[in-house]
Amino acid sequence: MERGKPGYRELFSRFGRSYIKLIDLSKDEIEEIARENGISGDDVMEAVNSSAGDLRRIDRMYIKKETKKNRERVNAKIKKMKG
């Protein structure tokens, strides 16, 4: 270890030196996952094109959609209580 930073040998030993190769997702699979998570319309194609096989993009889009839906629900309740 130089400068107090672990090297590759140290990191590999901590991870057990064994890895598995994950298969990349196809655009069709990403689209299906997005639709199953309630993402629809143009957002599906945005998810497919911007994800580069990374499902965290789908997750962020789902959270954004759910947050917006919850905010609208709360605002409707507040409006109903006032009116």
CA angle 26, 66, 41 (to 5 degrees): 50
Can you give the residue ranges of every domain in the chain? 22-65
Burial grade of 32 (CB within 10 A; 0-12, 13-18, 19 or more): middle
Per-residue pLDDT of the chain (83 residues; tens, 9 = 90+): 456 677 777 877 887 777 778 788 888 998 898 889 888 888 888 888 888 878 888 888 888 888 999 999 999 999 999 87
